[in-house]
Structure 1
Amino acid sequence: MAKNNVFNSVIILTVTMLFIKILSALYRVPYQNVLGDAGLYAYQQVYPMAAIIAVLSLNAVPSVISQFNHEYAEKVYRLLRISSLMLLILLMMFSGLIARMMGDENLSLMLRVSLLVLLPFSFVAVARGELQRRDAMQTIAISQLIDQLIRVSVILLGIYLYTMGFSVYESGAVSILGSFLGISGAWLYLRRKERINPTGSLDNKQLKQFLLLTLFYALSYLIMILWQLVDSFTVLNLLKHVGYSLHDSRELKGIYDRGASLIQMGLIVTTSFALVLIPLLAQAKRQGRHKEMNDYASSALKITIVFSSAASIGLLNLIKPFNLFLFKSDTEAGTLAVYMLAVIFVSLIIMFTAMLQITEDYRVQAFGVVSGLITKIVLNIVLITNFGILGAAIATVSGLLVYTIILYRQIILRYTLTLKSFTVRWVMTLTMMSLVLQLIVQLPFTDRLSALLVSLSGVAAGVLIVGFAMIKYKIISADEWLHLPFGERVIRWMK
């Protein structure tokens, strides 16, 4: 019964997160269509600030609190309440300076609004942690839906206000307010479910433990957000440095930011499928079943590679019609094509991080993310100066590659992986898919409707080729399909 409850909880959260990811991926499309690339640029410049707080309150801090007792949670609440208020006041005072460091003083209003998420942060984080500790996943899922639905609704309001005469910055301020109102909606809902009475404070050992675990849980969720934060402080400044005007720099950065939506779409299926196996891997580790643990690790990694590379290579080949259909132009298609490779590395990093958390190897994650970010910063400076906005995409993928390699070197020391048997067949499948998709994109498309038809044709062809190869050549085995959504139906097709 306990095993079924755990599995059902995983399914509830997986379905909820799938829906939330779809919403997160899609809202940027109408936003760019109405406000243009300059509007998307303004939103994306400030978004990482609010997103970091949201990730800490909705994911990282609750994961840490769920491992300890109620008294610990109350102590954490007191710490978070005081520190978040101090941070809010400090950052509000320096919002103008931060905007100037980003290269655009007009962002200061949006920055101040984004910081409001610090107000409900402490309560939401601790309440979710307490509910997670009691395995009340349905309540958590509802709070996440409330948060996301309010946020997207307010973003749509911001889009409407732009059509009524608001500037891209004023509309952006309304849109970013959605993050605060969304978390506040979750706070009001959780108050009915959870009571918190702060008592005492964390001692030095508990404080160090809390900060350390929060950091490493956050790394699982903050990968692309941290890379985007680097871009917020470097890309615009570097483009202006090499001679672009503020107007042209905003447009180029906005076009580059289109990639965030496409990458999010590529990650939806990858992470939802692959992470289903992590609870099974953790259980095998706790019970000392090492062969099963290695089998689950190999399966999880194989599924990650298969789905992430299929999504990444598919998006890369279809980037021109996708770009025209979704965003009204196919400008900088080469830049976005390079950017799509990030899907592979982000998916692998998420999986590797989960696998290393099971073995409690935290330091390598910190080393990996720092090395990746340093690579990203240095290459941004070098490559944007020489290649413009294309350099930012190359720097992003290179930084993620460094992070991936560092984690992989530790993974192979802790797990015995069996992946070679499917590699050749899968590379041949991706090559065949790319050849077919390149033939399809030679079809004429000059407007959004024709781009949509070419995109759908390419997606259908890619799914058929990949699906046929996966079933015909058993790239994913019957036992592995059993752990995935619709797996039993796929097994019937294989037979």
Structure 2
Amino acid sequence: MKNAMQGAFILTLASLVAKVLSAIYRIPLQNLVGNTGFYVYQQIYPIYGIGITFALSGFPVFVSKLVAEQETESQKIKVAQKAFVILSVISLVIVVSLLSFAPEIAHGMGDVGLTPLIRCVSLMFIFMPFLAVGRGYYQGIFQMIPTARSQVMEQVVRVVIIIGVAYTAVNQDWNVYRMGTWAMSGAVVAAIVSTLYFLRLFKKKIFRPLPTQTGPIASYKKLSKRFLIEGGTICLFAAIIILLQLIDSFTVKNGLVASGVSNKAAKSLKGIYDRAQPLVQLGLVVATSFSTTLLPSLTKAVQKHNRYEFKRTVQSMLHISLAISVAATVGMMTLMPQINRLLFGNTEGTSAIMIYVVAIVLAALIATYNSVLQSVNVFKPAIVAFFIGLGVKLLLNRVAVQQYGINGASLVTVLSLAVILVFMQLGSSDSLKGNLRLDIGFFGKLILASGSMVLVVNWSKMVLLSLFSNSGRIELGIMIVVVVLLGGLTFSGVAIGLRLFTIREWLTIPYGKKLLKKILDNKK
């Protein structure tokens, strides 16, 4: 548990830096290129998002599981070598498909001008095998720092290129499609840089032949089957929000046009709707990082048949993921008009964004549930639930957009995630349901802690807004930071007072020990 949490802490910090960068670059991007330019970028972003999920939090998790299952160093390297070959084939199929069918994909999105962006972003998949195997190998031996470094490195390079492109596009009066194509090239350059970081590993281990006698290793046929079922399930759930956004790319703009909105206005509205995406990503940082490092540890617990430790670990992860995601969601919803204005210059689309951020809680629980199911090699409930939820999004999204605009798309996203969560629970065995069940007492305490935080946030927000009624974005930013700190301290204080977490759970949260000690000392 301690090793897992230390690894989670390292990845949490790296993910936090990367996601903050991912959110920050969209602010100047949207402010520089406007809603329509933001729409062009965000239409293709889900394809990039799927690629980065495969290379960062999808296939690496499965590769780490394969590596953790092996007993000797030579077996670990051999299974990583076979994984690289399989992923290279998958990568080739994806690249060729995207390059060949880019015009048809763009036409399906209702905008043929997106074709060069699709072709550009497809090239990043060439580097997916290097990144997935490099990160997966290190995570499988519980070394999280290489993954963390490569993740931050990749995001820094990409963000620098995108901001540079946006600035150039505005000054050189580029059209939005040229801007989008060059912005997407940042993903390819970033993938190359991140791949170079793992070059030493591949030269020393992955690309070197091993002795024929390395111990029993599954055949390519068996490994390919596992990649398809187990690895595919991990990737699907790691990319669940991205896949829902991909459906949005095909249905939101088209649905708005079908409802009578002009083509130009529909592009602008889609750009406004897409403001919710970086906020949801930020809210999911901790939950994603914990679920990434949870799988190898749970696998070890299963192998040792330690049911008590397995259940206790699952319960701790559920408590922590749910509490943090609820606090983030409630806080964002309470401050959303101000956050929207601070980041994007106005409050357009606030209601749609407020609905959308509820996805943080649902996606955090889904990620934890899926990690538990993966650890005991149970895949059917997750796969069935996933496709039912995806079907709900596909069937209802365009209709909801035509009836309720971008609010309808947000509602259907939340509904789809709720459906997935319910069906995962229903499809699990009775023993797993017992591990995944949360007691009513925990929910009651969480509601009280969240409610107290909302009261403090609302009160402090009203006071500060009355003092700085004509404030600009800088003053607004300072106000939000102050309110967030007050809200966070309130939530933590009430959580400790109500014993929301056990002592053990507090000690596993990064800086939980120090926070607990300070609050208890103050009480004395």
What is the 5 A alignment of 1:446-457? 447-449=472-474, 451-457=476-482
- 2:177 is the alignment partner of 1:169: yes
What is the 5 A alignment of 1:191-230? 191-195=199-203, 196-197=206-207, 203-230=220-247
Say whether the 8 Å CA contact 1:35–1:159 is kept in structure 2: yes
Say whether the 8 Å CA contact 2:244–2:393 is kept in structure 1: yes
- 1:318 aligned counterpart, secondary structure: helix
1:389 deviates by 1.0
Match of 1:379 among 396, 407, 411: 396
Residues in 1 aligned to 2:57 and 2:157: alpha-carbon distance in whole angstroms: 18
What is the 5 A alignment of 1:239-388? 239-272=256-289, 281-388=298-405
- 1:298 aligned counterpart, secondary structure: helix
% identity of equivalent residues: 30
Which position in structure 1 is the counterpart of 2:53? 55
Q: For residues 432-491 of structure 1, what are the alpha-carbon distances to aligned partners after superposition, in whole Å with 9 as ceiling and x for unaligned?
A: 433444455554555424543553353234223212211221211222101111121122
Q: For residues 70-107 of structure 1, what are the alpha-carbon distances to aligned partners after superposition, in whole Å with 9 as ceiling and x for unaligned?
A: 44443443344344334323321221121111011111
Residues in 1 aligned to 2:56 and 2:289: alpha-carbon distance in whole angstroms: 18
Rate the CA distance shift 1:278–1:260 in 2: closer, same or farther, 3 A. same
Match of 2:147 among 136, 140, 164: 140
- 1:194 aligned counterpart, secondary structure: helix
Say whether the 8 Å CA contact 2:363–2:417 is kept in structure 1: yes
Q: For residues 191-249 of structure 1, what are the alpha-carbon distances to aligned partners after superposition, in whole Å with 9 as ceiling and x for unaligned?
A: 23313449999643332222212202213420111111110111111111111112111
- 1:252 aligned counterpart, secondary structure: helix
Which position in structure 1 is the counterpart of 2:505? 480
Residues in 1 aligned to 2:228 and 2:167: alpha-carbon distance in whole angstroms: 41
- 2:284 aligned counterpart, secondary structure: helix
Which has the higher mean CA deviation after the structures are superposed, 377-386 or 105-114? Answer: 377-386
1:291 deviates by 2.6
Rate the CA distance shift 1:354–1:330 in 2: closer, same or farther, 3 A. same
Say whether the 8 Å CA contact 1:376–1:399 is kept in structure 2: yes
Say whether the 8 Å CA contact 1:157–1:174 is kept in structure 2: no
Q: For residues 325-360 of structure 1, what are the alpha-carbon distances to aligned partners after superposition, in whole Å with 9 as ceiling and x for unaligned?
A: 110000121111111111110111111111111121
Question: Match for 2:331: what amino acid?
Answer: G
Which position in structure 2 is the counterpart of 1:408? 425
Which position in structure 1 is the counterpart of 2:445? 425
1:428 deviates by 2.7
Say whether the 8 Å CA contact 2:158–2:186 is kept in structure 1: yes
Say whether the 8 Å CA contact 2:8–2:290 is kept in structure 1: no
Which position in structure 2 is the counterpart of 1:184? 192
Say whether the 8 Å CA contact 1:352–1:411 is kept in structure 2: no
Match of 2:454 among 430, 434, 452: 434
Residues in 1 aligned to 2:276 and 2:170: alpha-carbon distance in whole angstroms: 24
1:426 deviates by 2.2
Rate the CA distance shift 1:222–1:198 in 2: closer, same or farther, 3 A. farther
Which position in structure 2 is the counterpart of 1:126? 133
Question: Match for 1:429: what amino acid?
Answer: A
Q: For residues 278-321 of structure 1, what are the alpha-carbon distances to aligned partners after superposition, in whole Å with 9 as ceiling and x for unaligned?
A: 66655444333323322222222122221111111111111101
Residues in 1 aligned to 2:292 and 2:142: alpha-carbon distance in whole angstroms: 18
Say whether the 8 Å CA contact 2:86–2:224 is kept in structure 1: no
Q: For residues 237-276 of structure 1, what are the alpha-carbon distances to aligned partners after superposition, in whole Å with 9 as ceiling and x for unaligned?
A: 1111111112111111111110011112222244446777
Q: For residues 375-434 of structure 1, what are the alpha-carbon distances to aligned partners after superposition, in whole Å with 9 as ceiling and x for unaligned?
A: 112221221111111100000000011111122332764134452223223223323433
Question: Match for 2:105: what amino acid?
Answer: I
Say whether the 8 Å CA contact 1:99–1:107 is kept in structure 2: yes
Match of 2:10 among 9, 12, 32: 12
Rate the CA distance shift 1:180–1:190 in 2: closer, same or farther, 3 A. same
Rate the CA distance shift 1:413–1:25 in 2: closer, same or farther, 3 A. farther
Residues in 2 aligned to 1:240 and 1:290: alpha-carbon distance in whole angstroms: 54
Residues in 2 aligned to 1:8 and 1:464: alpha-carbon distance in whole angstroms: 23
TM-score by length of 1: 0.91
How many residue pairs end up in the alignment?
Answer: 493
Which has the higher mean CA deviation after the structures are superposed, 257-266 or 194-203? Answer: 194-203
Residues in 2 aligned to 1:465 and 1:206: alpha-carbon distance in whole angstroms: 49
> Structure 2 stretches of 5 or more lacking a match?
68-74, 213-217
Which position in structure 2 is the counterpart of 1:39? 37
Question: Match for 1:458: what amino acid?
Answer: V
Residues in 2 aligned to 1:144 and 1:437: alpha-carbon distance in whole angstroms: 33
Say whether the 8 Å CA contact 1:238–1:385 is kept in structure 2: yes
Rate the CA distance shift 1:315–1:38 in 2: closer, same or farther, 3 A. same
Question: Match for 1:401: what amino acid?
Answer: A
Rate the CA distance shift 1:397–1:208 in 2: closer, same or farther, 3 A. same
Residues in 2 aligned to 1:189 and 1:385: alpha-carbon distance in whole angstroms: 47
Residues in 1 aligned to 2:363 and 2:110: alpha-carbon distance in whole angstroms: 28
Which has the higher mean CA deviation after the structures are superposed, 459-468 or 376-385? Answer: 459-468
Residues in 1 aligned to 2:80 and 2:488: alpha-carbon distance in whole angstroms: 46
Which position in structure 1 is the counterpart of 2:71? none
Question: Match for 1:471: what amino acid?
Answer: I
Which position in structure 2 is the counterpart of 1:107? 114
Rate the CA distance shift 1:303–1:124 in 2: closer, same or farther, 3 A. closer
1:173 deviates by 1.2
Rate the CA distance shift 1:283–1:426 in 2: closer, same or farther, 3 A. same
- 2:136 is the alignment partner of 1:116: no
TM-score by length of 2: 0.86
Q: CA RMSD in A?
A: 2.7
- 2:468 is the alignment partner of 1:460: no
Say whether the 8 Å CA contact 2:255–2:401 is kept in structure 1: yes
